[in-house]
Amino acid sequence: MSSDNSLSHTRWNCKYHIVFIPKYRRKVIYGKLRRDIGVILRRLCEMKDVEIIEAHAMPDHIHMLVKIPPKMSVSYFMGYLKGKSSLMIHDRDANLKYNHGNRTFWAKGYYVSTVGLNQKTVAKYIREQESEDRLRDNMSKREYVDPFKK
């Protein structure tokens, strides 16, 4: 089991698929802000010894596949990640204060799912999520022609 990690008396392999969104699900994760958010999330994960296996920033949400040590609860980690990253995002981009209120960037709550032996399936889903969303958006846009107009 080479993917297992260890603490002093524990062997562990705790992986979680986490999804969280900006406040009001605004589509704000673009360009420079997207790169900044990626750098911030990577740095915060390194500080807590959380390994990012796969991650992808969509325009209106973040997908992460992470390995969290068992000494830390998922809720504690998410509170830390969303709280600190919100402060750091506002420090880097002061104009967000006018659009998103004072120091709030992420919505309350998140989605989390444990990942067992299907890690490759979840990682592939995260990688291909953006292209699937684009295809779904293109399929839902119809050119409607009114049959009663000539």
Q: Which of 115, 39, 105, 125 is nearest to 74 (CA)?
A: 115
* Dist. CA 132–CA 139, nearest whole Å: 11
Domains of the chain plus CATH, in order, are 8-116 (3.30.70.1290)
Average pLDDT over residues 6-16: 84
Catalytically annotated residue among 16, 80, 125, 144: 125
> pTM of the prediction?
0.75
pLDDT in tens, 22-52: 887 778 777 778 899 999 999 999 999 999 9
**125 carries an active-site annotation:** yes
* pLDDT score, position 16: 95
Residue 67's pLDDT band, with cuts at 50, 70 and 90, is very high
138: helix, strand or coil: helix
pLDDT in tens, 117-134: 677 888 888 888 877 777
